[in-house]
Each structure stands twice: as C-alpha cells, then as structure tokens.
Amino acid sequence: MKTALTAAEALRSILEATPVLDPETTAVREALGRVLAGPVVSTRDLPPLDNSAMDGYAVRLADVAAASRVQPACLEIATEIVAGGRADQPISPGTAARILTGAPVPPGADCVVRQEDTAREGDGLRVFAAPALHENIRKAGEDVRNGEQVLDAGTVVGPPQVGMLASLGRTVVSVHQRPRVAILSGGDELVEPDQSVAGGRIVSSNSYSLAAQCLTLGAEPVYLGIARDTPEDLERLLRAGLAADVLVSSAGVSVGDRDYVRAVLTKLGCEFRFWGVKIKPGYPLAFGCFPGDRGPLVFGLPGNPVSAMMTFEQFVRPALRKMTGHRRYFRPTLRAELGETFTKKPGRLHFVRVVLERVGDGVVARSTGNQSSGVLRSMTLAEGLLVFPAEATELRAGDSATVQLLDPEEFFASDRAGF
Amino acid sequence: MKTALTAAEALRSILEATPVLDPETTAVREALGRVLAGPVVSTRDLPPLDNSAMDGYAVRLADVAAASRVQPACLEIATEIVAGGRADQPISPGTAARILTGAPVPPGADCVVRQEDTAREGDGLRVFAAPALHENIRKAGEDVRNGEQVLDAGTVVGPPQVGMLASLGRTVVSVHQRPRVAILSGGDELVEPDQSVAGGRIVSSNSYSLAAQCLTLGAEPVYLGIARDTPEDLERLLRAGLAADVLVSSAGVSVGDRDYVRAVLTKLGCEFRFWGVKIKPGYPLAFGCFPGDRGPLVFGLPGNPVSAMMTFEQFVRPALRKMTGHRRYFRPTLRAELGETFTKKPGRLHFVRVVLERVGDGVVARSTGNQSSGVLRSMTLAEGLLVFPAEATELRAGDSATVQLLDPEEFFASDRAGF
C-alpha cells in the first residue's frame, strides 16, 4: 500500500479503479438528471404529418397565385380540418380547406393562406394574397426523421430531453445506474442528531453531509449507522455495505477506530491502494477496492467534518461522476484574484475555503476565516475552494490563483432577466 | 386585460403578483435544495468542550515549560481519555493524561504535548519539548457559539448546511414551501406517450417537459391530464388544479381550445392580467391570478413544445424561484461572441437557441439550426438562449450579445481537477 501520495496521484489511482456503471432501463419520468447509456434513435417522424403552422386555409397554389386585394381569388370551402382531425379528402381545383394550427394538410394542398389574407362568406372564400409554395406548412419529419439519432450516449437528461423522449413515444430509456453509496460513521463519542450530547458527545453529522453530497450527484446514499469502536460492531455494519457500489467510512475524530476499519475491511477482502494524501484538510484518506470488482470501492475518509466533506468533494465526487456516465468529472475552475495574502508550510496542497466576489469581469477570492478542519462554518460559507499548491508557501494579495467553484448555478444566478 | 406586452413588462406583471410561499417545517434530511425561511441560531457550542487536536498528552504547561531533548520533563500518566470519554479528573501538578484526538481536555491541563515529542515507559512519561499555552487544544465554541446565528434566512441548503444543522442537533428546519404546480395539457389531437399516434396524433410531451422543468426548480408538478376540446372537460380538469400554487395550462397546437381555457378560467374566478407578449417563440402567453390570492397563479402557455418550454423558462421559472424563497430569480447571463450573423424582423424579442463554445476566456455562440417553434431539437441541443432584442434586426458575426446560460453546472464542468 502506497502512502503520502500527491493529490493528483491519489485521484489517478481512484479513477483507474472506478468503473462506469452498467445501463439500466428507467421510466422517462424518472430519468431527469440521469446520463443516457446509449443513443436514442427515433422510430417516427416528428411532426408525423405535414401540418399547418397557421390558422387559415389550405389551398392549391395554382388557384391563388395571381390573387391580390384588387383581384381576389374566389374558392369554395369544401371541408374543415382541426388538429388531431383527419385530412383524407383531397383538395380539388377551386376549393379550399379551413385549417387550424397543427392540423394535417390535406392531399392536393401545397400552401396555407393566412386567415388575415382572406374573407369568408358562408362556403365562399376570397383570397387577397398568395403565399409561396409550401408556405405555412410544417413538413413531416421537419424536427426528427424516422431512423434518425436524436440524442447521443452520454447526454445528461434535462427537461428538453424528457420532452423529446415523450414526443418519440418513449416511456422508458436506458441510462447508467445510480451508484449506491453505503455510508458508515464510527466512534464511541458519536450520537444521532436527536440524541443527547451531554458529556461532550458529538453529533454524527458526517453521515448527513455525505448523504447530501451523494444526492446532489444523483447517487443513492445508504446510511449504515454509527459503528462503536469495536471490531465486531464495525464488521457487522461494514458487511451490510458490501453490496453497495461505493463504501464510504467516515471515522470518528479518534484515530484508534480508523485502524479497526482498515483491519476489518482487509479481513473482508478489501485491498487498500493507498493511505495518506499530501493535502490539507484530509491527509488520512484511504482508498481500496476488492479484487475482480467483487465489492465496492472503499473510501476511508477522515472524521473531521470539514476533512470528510473535502475528501468526498475532491476524490469521491469525481468517481461518482464517472460511475454515473458523466464525461467530465470535475467542478468548474476559474482564475480568481486573491483579495488577501495566504501563507502555509510547504509539503501539502491546501484547499482553502473562500468567498467569491464578482468584480467587473473578474472574481476576487477571500478566506472564509478560520480554516481549522474542525470549523464547519468554513464550509457553509465557502463559495469556492482555492487550490494552494503543495510546494507553494505564499499566494500574495493581487495574484491570480485557481479556484474550484462549488455551486455555479447559484453563484452565477442573476437578479436580472437578461432582457 | 393588456395585450402585446414587452417581455420586461410581462415579467414585471408576473413577479408583482407572485408571493413568496409561507414557511413550513421539514426534516433536515429532506431539506437539501430548499431555502431557509428564517435564520438558524445555535443552541450549543461547537465543539462542545475543549478537546485535543492531536494524539498526545494533556499536561500543565508549568510542568513542561523547560523540557528539552537533553533535559526532559518527567511526569506520571494518571489517566487516559478517549473521544467521547469523560475528563472529570483534574490534572494535578506532575501528572499527565494520555489523550486521543477529539477527546475532552481535563481540568487543569492547559496544553497538549504531541505524542512525537514524548516517550512512555509504563506510567512514566518523558516530555522532550514544550508546546505553547493552549497549543493543540481546540477551544469549546471555536466553530459555533451558543446563541450565535450560523445560517441566514434565504440560504440555499446544500451539503454543508445539512451537516451544520445535524451538528447543531437539529432534525427539522424551517424552509419555504415547495410550489405545487398543476399542469394541464389540452387538445383532441394529443395522446399519452404509450398511446397510438395513428392518424397524425401527437404525444402530449409538454406535460413531461414542463414537469421536468418544475422538478429542476424544486417545485412539485401535479399532472392533471389531457383535456379534450370541450368546455366541460376543461372545467373538470382545471378545477382539480385550483388548489395548487401555480396552474400551467399548455394548450394543444390548435387555437380553438385556448379560448375555452381562458373562458373556463374566467368563469372559475381567474382575472387575466395580460395575453400576448412580443417574443418569439411564445407570443400567445397569458397570465392571470385570483383576487385575494384565493387561487393559483395561472399561466396559459402556448402549445408548441418549444414555445411552452421557452415561456416556462422565461416567465414561470422566475416566479417559482421567487415563491421558493430564492433571492435571485434568473439564469446566469454572459456576453458571447456571435459565431454567425442572426437576422429577424423588428417587433418581437427572439430567444435564439444556441450552442456555446469556450474559446480562450470567451464564449462563442452559434445557432442550433432550425429555430421553428415546432423543432424540439433546438431545445435539446441548446446550451444557451441568445437574447435578440425586439427592435433589432441584425446581430452580426463577431458582435457580442447577451446569452442566458441554461445549465452552468454542466456547461462549466471540467475534465481537469484543478490540481
């Protein structure tokens, strides 16, 4: 087992071991946010028939080509066609069909005259202007042709894709499976949120924040509970997590139990690839997997609330993005100007929690304050994570540096509509 | 009732009539993505007690102040304290407590010596280096103090907020209600996706795409079904939607039924504020509400798939964002360079579906192709919506223009980790 890896080495090791999950069939109504496991090919034309883009009259162009306000063309209204109606009866010379938007264009008609360019008296119609050939007719297959590939594998299913699939008559679609992520907390000092914290006990908040991180990625968290600091209790709970795709253990704040977790998982067949990554917060990160994919990917996260969320963010999130079929695994990054000077010792890459301010076209980054790995406030305030490289010791105010952007949707949300 | 409003006038009219929904209490586990209806004030210190940041020994600084490698301080180990353990026994002069990370610091101790700076033999301890006063001790309340406001009203609940709430022992939290959005389709030509489209029938895809749009906003879609083109059927279904916060009717592609919708809703007590907005796609948008808030906001959307999604995007989405307690209602906008020339007639603001390419620090926008309001492909391909102002007739290749960014999270997602 390797130790003291760089962040990049750790990430490479994890992604190499991470599979893309198999396809499954899901209801289109449930597919929002999922990633298509294969292309979607249409088995019909959209629209299915030539239809009218306007309320007006379907006519033969030859009958109205010379029409004008002064010399209108006079036609007989032979039929009326509504959307969803039938258009079996051909338009013969000298006749017109009253037609509503979306209604099928009858055989023989080769253009639609807008209602505004006509006058009707009983079954008589006067046409004051000639459209062009095929004007105001939406051609069958204009949107999608039968046999055409309309959505590519790897597409994230958003509202337009849901609408398209429905339009094609699809009720189910093939998407990559959602990773099931088993989450274990461990530590004799931990209690659930509704339990007493008398005597210095601490709420096991990591299972909550990690489950929420899973949900934002479309993964399915499975909470295993809080293991007590005994090998027996750990083994009991960890065994329950072996059927998951990913097993995330966030130890308590003590170190004793962390050794048990590793020992028990090794006994269960997990092979650890590394322990210890030169980052802060989050050094004591462990990663392993089961030979022949006979078990979940295993992440042993540090127990401090900030360290647990940070290592999930940096290492578990990209793995889950890969599993769910995404092609790009990482947060947006931007170059931000530093609003203050940051210093540290060399040796570890720091992820500094920062608030971001948009100034002109640029972004200015400032610390959220106390960066202790016990200070969850640093995460609740953070809009970005400043990447402070391992060997650097100072990033000066005014310099530009790389920042990972945590929530682009909300960060860039606007108080103006754009019109 | 006004007509032929500008996009900005329509939006103003809608937002004026849109309430922020009342608070409700929800489980913290269910609160992800919701907006806090009030501030969250802590009723405890975090951490609850002074505790050790290291594995080591809690000591009295006076006993070790002069310690060095050459002249170590010699102490007796009087007790051992683990995380979650008790630290009732004071440290008396000349003694030390073995202490693990996270464990409470006992009375009398005023610093923690790192394990690496000690040697243990039975109950005897030699200390080779003196820490500073309070070194390696995390102070009670360092993260959060009892009585402190830790989260502001209007905060969007993300994973760190879930973790914070759990840490505070909160199992429920007050958030703005999710809007319930009743969705009606209408038109004799419409069928559900699993029904036959023989004879030119069309799948009622709007209810699917609109429901998906609601879900991405955290709103709760309620599908009323497809109304046939009779006042009776419309009234039956519309009545079922009156208990919702928002009623969205997407008519069929015919215009006849649209009049019924308005007539029936007026009969039911809805007062329409406007009909017709000078935009493309989506001119025939109607908006109304019930006097005294005794009914839902009512949006009559056009029936074309693209027009329905577009008017939802531009007018229903901001209203839903306001209802759910968000402070900023709109998509991010960016200035994009146009990769081609766009032309149109004056009079209507066009929302042009565009694909976006990141080039250097900038973004280049190009049309998705056929912009017909029947071409749903234009929406499935769109990464942004180019705002082509009402009175403009040409936007030239190379010009810069405003683009609404549809999915910043995926658009800006990166294939690099940032380290």
User: Rounded to whole angstroms, how far apart are CA atoms B262 and B265?
Assistant: 5
Q: CA B250 to CA A375: how far, in whole Å?
A: 49
When scoring B253, B259, B315 by the number of chain A Cβ atoms within 10 A, the one with the most, hence best to mutate, is B253
What is the mean predicted confidence (pLDDT) over B114-120? 93
Choice among A250-264, A291-305, B242-256 with the minimum mean pLDDT: A250-264
CB contact under 8 A, B413 and A331: yes
Report the residue of A380, A391, A404, A409 to disrupt the B interface, i.e. the one with the largest count of B CBs within 10 Å: A380
Task: Tell me which CATH homologous superfamily contains domain A2-21+178-323.
Answer: MoaB/Mog-like domain (3.40.980.10)
B23-46+143-176 topology per CATH = Molybdopterin biosynthesis moea protein, domain 2 (3.90.105)
- Nearest Cα to Cα of residue B154 among B321, B404, B331: B321
Residues of B in contact with A144 (CB under 8 A): 376-377
Q: Which residues from B are below 8 Å from A208, CB to CB?
A: 28-29, 162-163, 165-166
Per-residue pLDDT, averaged over A82-96, amounts to 87
* Residue B258 or residue A233, greater confidence: A233
- Chain B hits for A87, CB-CB cut-off 8 Å, are 200
Residues of A in contact with B412 (CB under 8 A): 332, 405, 408
Q: Tell if the CB–CB gap between A389 and B328 is shorter than 8 Å.
A: no
A54-74 pLDDT, tens digit per residue, is 889 999 999 999 999 999 999
Query: Chain B contacts of A253, Cβ < 8 Å?
Result: 51, 83, 101-102
Distance from CA of B95 to the nearest CA of A (A): 22
CB pair distance less than 8 Å for A202 and B84: yes
pLDDT beyond 50 at B39: yes
Please indicate whether, in this complex, the C-beta atoms of B48 and A332 are within 8 angstroms of each other: no
- CA dist B281 and B259 (Å) reads 19
What local confidence, expressed as pLDDT, does residue A257 receive? 43
Contacts within 8 Å (CB) and 24+ apart, B16-22: B17/B273, B17/B287, B17/B289, B17/B297, B18/B297, B18/B319, B18/B322, B18/B323, B19/B293, B19/B323, B20/B176, B20/B322, B20/B323, B20/B325, B21/B176, B21/B177, B21/B178, B21/B179, B21/B245, B21/B323, B21/B324, B21/B325, B22/B176, B22/B177
CA distance B43 to B205: 50
Q: A51-138 sits in which CATH class?
A: mainly beta
3-class SS string, A59-86:
ECHHHHCCCCCCCCEEEEEEEEECCCCC
Q: What is the pLDDT of residue A254?
A: 43
User: Mean pLDDT, to the nearest integer, of B81-104?
Assistant: 88
Residues of A in contact with B311 (CB under 8 A): none
Q: What letter does residue B46 receive in the DSSP assignment?
A: B
Contact across the interface for A419 and B8, Cβ inside 8 Å: yes
What distance in Å separates residue B277's CA from the closest CA in chain A?
13
Q: What is the pLDDT of residue A82?
A: 80
**What residues in B contact A229, CB-CB < 8 Å?**
82
Task: Using CB atoms, pick whichever of A162, A253, A314 lies closest to residue B83.
Answer: A253
For chain B, give every domain's residue range.
2-21+179-323, 23-46+143-176, 51-138, 333-411
Lowest mean pLDDT among A5-9, A100-104, A412-416, B130-134: A100-104
Ranges A50-59, A82-91, A232-241, A256-265: which has the least confidence = A256-265
Q: Which residue of A has its CA nearest to B15?
A: A417
Which one of 2.40.340.10, 1.20.120.420, 2.40.50.140, 1.10.3720.10 gives the CATH number of domain B333-411? 2.40.340.10
pLDDT at B373: 82
Instruction: Quote the percentage of chain A above a pLDDT of 70.
Output: 98
Question: In the 8-state DSSP scheme, what is residue A417?
Answer: -
Q: Which phi and psi (to 5°) does residue B236 adopt?
A: -55, -45
With 0-12 / 13-18 / 19 or more C-beta atoms within 10 angstroms meaning exposed / middle / buried, residue A268 is middle
pLDDT of A198 above 90: no
The mean per-residue pLDDT over the stretch A282-303 comes to 93
* DSSP E strands, B211-270: 220-227, 246-250
Per-residue confidence (pLDDT) for residue B254, from 0 to 100? 43
| A253, A309, A415 ranked by CB distance to B102: nearest | A253
Q: Shortest CB distance from A376 goes to which of B143, B403, B412?
A: B143
Q: A89: exposed, middle or buried (C-beta count within 10 Å: 0-12, 13-18, 19+)? A: middle
Cis peptide before B48 (omega within 30 of 0): no
B85, B305, B318 ranked by CB distance to A167: nearest: B305
Is the predicted pLDDT of residue A258 greater than 70, yes or no? no
How far apart CA B395 and CA A276 sit, in angstroms, is 55
Residue of B nearest to A208 (CA): B163
Q: Which has more confidence, A85 or B282? A: B282
Q: Judge: A209–B329 Cβ closer than 8 Å, yes or no.
A: no
Fold (CATH) for A27-45+147-176: Molybdopterin biosynthesis moea protein, domain 2 (3.90.105)
> Which of B167, B309, B317, B372 best tests the A interface by mutation, with the highest count of A CBs <10 A?
B167
Question: How large is the angle between the packed helices B256-267 and B231-240, nearest 10 degrees?
Answer: 50
Which of the given ranges, A94-108, A130-144, A391-405, has the highest pLDDT on average? A391-405
CB contact under 8 A, A414 and B197: no
- Verify whether the Cβ–Cβ distance B328 to A101 is below 8 Å: no
Looking at domain B2-21+179-323, its CATH architecture is 3-Layer(aba) Sandwich (3.40)
Residue in B171, B372, B402 nearest the CB of A193: B171
> Which helix H or strand E contains B159, and what residues bound it?
helix B159-167
Whether residue B413 and residue A326 make contact (CB cut-off 8 A), yes or no, is yes
Paired sense of beta strands B2-5 and B271-277, if any: parallel
- Closest-approach residue (CA) in chain A for B88: A199
pLDDT at A253: 40
Name every chain B residue with its beta carbon within 8 A of the beta carbon of A389: 419
ipTM summary value: 0.92
